[in-house]
Amino acid sequence: MKEKNLFVWGILIISLSFGLQAQRATPPLEIPLLLSGNFGEFRGSHFHAGLDIKTKGRQGFKVKSILAGSIRRIKVSTSGYGKTLYVEHADGTTSVYAHLQKFAPKIEKIVKQLQYQKERFLIQSYHKSNELVVRQGEVIGYSGNTGGSLGPHLHFELRDSKTQMPLNPLTLNFDIKDTQRPVVRNLYYYNLEDSIQKRRNEIPIVRKNDSLYTTDILHWFGKKGIGIRMYDRQDLSYNKNGIYQIKILLNGKETIKYNFDSISFDDGKLISTLIDYSTYKTEGFRIQKLFRDLPHGMSFLPLEAPNGIMSFKENRSYQLQIILEDFHGNKTYIESYVEGKKAAAEIPNKNKELNLVKPKLDYLFEFDNMSVYLPKNTFYETVNFPVKASKDTLFVPGEENAVFKAFEIEFNAPPIDPEKTNPWCIAKVNKKGELNYSYTKLKDGKLKTEVKTPGVYVLAQDTVRPTITPQNFKPKQWMSNYSFLKIKIDDDFSGIKKYRATINDQWILFEHEPKRKMLTYDFQDIDFRNHKLKLKIEVEDQQGNVSNFETDIFRKPKKIKPLN
């Protein structure tokens, strides 16, 4: 059945590719398409589902619909994709345009009407087919840096409209010059006989020419897996991006192969199983595992596919070949020869204390005034978990262990004045000794938080209210020549939970940009028809501390067409 599903997916991807080639898509930007991120490349907690297209470090470039279609979804968020448009096309695909600075005027009007109707900045709206029609090449927005973006760029995706499964946008054959071969930085092997302690060893490599790396003869015995640090580049961009396809051959037989023609968003939950997570957390760099040693399948690497684990026998000879390939067909080869030879047996450390936690069981660790609850499948594999407590501090070990499912930390709550806001919360101590707030709930005298990162957790207090600071005006100032009203809001610990603003007791839309801690109001939104404007702003943090700001400003009324 699984083979049949894979066959169907293959036919679907091929047919979609032919359809896209038959009608050449318009590039989403007018500037040259330079990539800072490839489809399928490994990110911190997910596989990248699109292309990151550079915008010269600036915002405001016109973003165009690649094909004619209908806008089916509009989203405004302060995290994730920020301001985003989803356009459905007749060929069965949907294009996605994320981190936009703003939408095109006809879309912006619809969004603002909805925002004022719901009296909130964050909105999401769905639309019927042919309700919001766009032409091929029509400007639908402007590139930006909204949401979780770390710098100005356009995140562009292509999806199957029925399943919303991401497809590789490079199938659109945009004009992206690429004659560069993938580059190998480091090569490693892992001893896989011990399920608890996998030993990483670097393999020295020599670059023979532009396409070939070699190693000295390797002497291996038993089960081994390969790890690699690698990247790809396009001709006009210096960013180190992910690689499209990888394959390992042992004596000519394929031991593992996967490529990124398509991925599933569910694959992201398992990304930690395809990297050396311990090295990533403790040493700060990512080694991509070219083997699957855990019972988890992905859309591009199903369970029934070869898993990359190689077995070497004594007095046998082997030829090992690794082939890296980018989407444009540029290939890099790593070739090595292996002699089967036993190494001296290691003496196990019997003095090492182990407190093993197995994935298929749940665990509760209780102390005097705190506890840790691990539900089933908290970790991907069996790990050592020597949790400890001391006074008001909980030591949750194993930052080097990848967490699959969030676990619960609980502290007894100190006495609280029922007439006051609860100041108590749980915080994680970072490497600098600073406290980072963990979203905390108070229930039945217990402070509870769910986390996915082991570390040191303590009780903390948040009694400081958020700050509200005018940026481009002073109280009682005339602002007739101003287009925008700008206010900075900030919180020193738990972070902003919500805000609300009115002028003359009428709700107004302040756009929130958390990275700049800025609220921005467009005076064009509403004509208040009087000179005196009484501005009120209320801001609340995650622990319930509230700040209020009130002032009068003055502005000459203008005849503005109302939103509704």
Q: In whole angstroms, give the CA distance from residue 213 to residue 320.
A: 12
Which of 461, 488, 523 corresponds to the end of one domain?
461
Verify that 426 and 486 share a domain, yes or no: no
Q: What is the reported pLDDT for 347?
A: 53
DSSP character at residue 273: G
The neighbour count for residue 68, using CB atoms within 10 Å, is 16
* Predicted confidence (pLDDT) at residue 1 exceeds the cutoff of 80: no
- Of 330 and 196, more confident: 330
What pLDDT, on the 0 to 100 scale, is given for residue 527?
A: 86
From 189-198, 232-241, 284-293, the region with the lowest mean pLDDT? 189-198
Contacts of 202 (CB under 8 A, 6+ apart): 186, 187, 188
Question: Are residue 306 and residue 380 in the same domain, yes or no?
Answer: no
Higher per-residue pLDDT: 394 or 563: 394
Query: Residues 6 or more apart from 379 whose CB is under 8 A from it?
Result: 357, 359, 398, 401, 402, 403, 404
Taking residues 230-237, what's their average pLDDT? 92
pLDDT above 80 (res 72): yes
Instruction: Return the CATH number at 502.
Output: 2.60.40.1220
Residue 347 included in any domain: no
| Distance separating alpha carbons of residues 324 and 36, to the nearest angstrom | 19
Examine residue 532 and state whether it is found in any structural domain, yes or no. yes
Q: Are residues 199 and 122 in the same domain?
A: no
**190: containing domain:** 183-340
Which element (helix H / strand E) includes 18? helix 2-22
For 193-206, what is the mean pLDDT?
78
> End of a domain among 340, 365, 395?
340
**For 499-537, what is each residue's pLDDT tens digit?**
999 999 999 999 999 999 999 999 999 988 889 999 999
Using pLDDT thresholds of 50, 70 and 90, give the confidence band for residue 399: confident
pLDDT at position 351 is: 45
Mean pLDDT of 73-81: 96
pLDDT in tens, 272-288: 999 999 899 888 899 99
What average pLDDT does the chain have? 90
Amino acid at site 457: Y
Per-residue pLDDT, 193? 80
Section 46-69 average pLDDT: 95
φ, ψ for residue 362, nearest 5 deg:
-105, 155
Question: How sure is the predictor about 493, in pLDDT bands with cuts at 50, 70 and 90?
Answer: very high
CA distance 564 to 562: 5
DSSP sequence for 204-248: --EE-SSSEEE-PPEEE-EEEEEEEEEEB--TT----B--SEEEE
Answer whether residue 2 shows pLDDT above 70: no
The yes-or-no verdict on residue 383 having pLDDT over 80 is: yes
**CATH number for the domain harbouring residue 388:** 2.60.220.30
> Do 189 and 262 belong together in one domain?
yes
Do 196 and 335 fall within a single domain?
Answer: yes
Q: Is residue 240 part of a domain?
A: yes
* 562 within domain boundaries: no
Asked whether residue 81 is assigned to any structural domain, the reply reads yes
Rg (CA), the chain: 28
- Give the chain's domain count: 4
- Span 285-307, average pLDDT: 92
pLDDT band at 20; cut points 50, 70, 90? very low
- My answer on whether 291 and 320 are in the same domain is yes
> Which three-class secondary structure state does DSSP give residue 542?
coil
Q: Among 419, 445, 461, give the residue marking a domain's end.
A: 461
How sure is the predictor about 343, in pLDDT bands with cuts at 50, 70 and 90?
confident
17: pLDDT confidence band, cut at 50, 70 and 90? Answer: very low
The alpha carbon of 154 is separated from its chain's Cα centroid by a whole number of angstroms, namely 15
Mean pLDDT of 88-107: 96
Give the integer Cα–Cα distance in Å for 450 and 429. 15
Q: Which pLDDT score, from 0 to 100, does residue 542 have?
A: 95
pLDDT tens per residue across span 117-143: 999 999 999 999 999 999 999 999 999
Is 420 in the same domain as 371? yes
pLDDT digits (tens, 9 = 90+) for 3-12: 445 444 554 5
Q: Is residue 25 exposed (0-12), middle (13-18) or buried (19+ Cβ within 10 Å)?
A: buried
Residue 352: pLDDT above 80?
A: no
- Per-residue pLDDT, 421: 82
Asked if residue 187 and residue 153 are part of one domain, the reply reads no
- What is the distance of C-alpha 530 from the center of its chain? 46
216 and 255, same domain (yes or no)? yes
What percent of the chain shows pLDDT beyond 70? 92
The verdict on 39 and 101 lying in the same domain is yes
- Going by the DSSP 8-state scheme, the letter that residue 393 receives in this structure is E
In this structure, are 504 and 439 located in the same domain? no
Closest alpha carbon to 344 in 439, 221, 239: 221
Residues 258 and 375 in one domain: no
Residue 346 covered by a domain: no
- Report percent pLDDT > 90 for the chain: 80
Question: Would the pLDDT of 31 be above 70?
Answer: yes
Task: Find tokens 């990359």 and name the residue.
Answer: 308
Report pLDDT for 8.
46
Looking at the domain assignment, is residue 126 inside a domain? yes
Residue 345 has pLDDT above 80, yes or no: no
Asked whether residue 384 is assigned to any structural domain, the reply reads yes
